[in-house]
Amino acid sequence: MQVPLLDLRAQYSPLKAEILEAVSELCDSQRFILGPKVEAFEQELAAYCQSGGAVGVTSGSDALLIALMAEKIQPGDEIIIPEPCFVAYPALATMCGAKVVTVQTRKEDSFKLTPEQLKAAITPKTKLLLLSYPSNPTGGVLNEDTYNALCDIARDKGITILADEVYEPFVYEGKELCFFYPEDRNACAKWSMLWDIQRERVMQIEKLRSARRDLEKAESELLSAKQ
């Protein structure tokens, strides 16, 4: 039997009618950017995540960048990134002026960050731990003990864990944990959406999103004026 590498039809067909109806309504409304549909989606997602709010942004990378900006990273602040990591992480951290502190995970630990490694990497300048679970590229997921130990260290040292859980739906058997669920989570970025448990931080992120939009609008006006 041949198993296709990718079969989006299987996903699409049961949802087809719903998707086409939503797309058609959106086109009729002509409210493509941050309109009522995005607002409704944000509310539904916030409720699903039991979060203080959800903020729609353009892409997963944008969500991460805005989350980092909301942490008010200053030049010289350190961001710990376990390797191997998603290819954009070091660049996103550097864009915010942070110094990237790489922690090389080991095969014998299934390429997962250990609490000992996290402790050893923390300095007085550490602001944040950035990690993806389930991990891209290793597929590694945390077990409960490691999860709790990492949260304890982060809480104790006052650092934020930015958990990029774009692949959270791929956690099987319900045994492994994502930062997304428990109350301990600090901030999570997932799909093209960014959410956060603290209402205050959500408001900051909303402001950053508007600022980026204003900047993009100004750039496009400038470009059209040049033509």
Ligand X SMILES: Cc1ncc(COP(=O)(O)O)c(C=O)c1O
Q: Report the interface residues with ligand X, using CB under 6 A.
A: 59-61, 86, 132, 136, 164, 166, 192
Closer Cβ to ligand X, 126 or 132, answer by number: 132
Whichever of 20 and 91 has its CB closer to ligand X, that residue is 91
Give 67 or 154: the residue with its C-beta nearer to ligand X. Answer: 67
Nearest to 144 by CA among 108, 105, 171, 106: 171
Q: Find the shortest distance in angstroms from Cβ 88 to ligand X.
A: 6
Measured from the CB of residue 222, what is the shortest distance to ligand X in angstroms? 25
Closest distance to ligand X from the beta carbon of 6 (Å): 14
Q: How many CA atoms lie within 13 A of 165 on its CB side?
A: 23
Q: How far apart are CA 74 and CA 53, in angstroms?
A: 25
Please tell me whether residue 77 adopts helix, strand or coil conformation.
Answer: coil
Q: Which residues are registered as beta bridge partners of 177?
A: 142
Cβ at position 76, least distance to ligand X in Å: 25
The nearer residue to ligand X, 86 or 147, going by C-beta atoms, is: 86
d(C-alpha 6, C-alpha 2), whole Å: 12
What kind and span of H or E run contains 179? Answer: none
Closest separation in Å from C-beta 138 to ligand X: 11
Q: Which residue is nearest to ligand X (CB)?
A: 60
Residue number with CB closer to ligand X (46 or 65): 65
Token pair 């970025």: residue: 189
Report whether the peptide linkage leading into residue 84 is cis, meaning its omega lies within 30 degrees of zero. yes
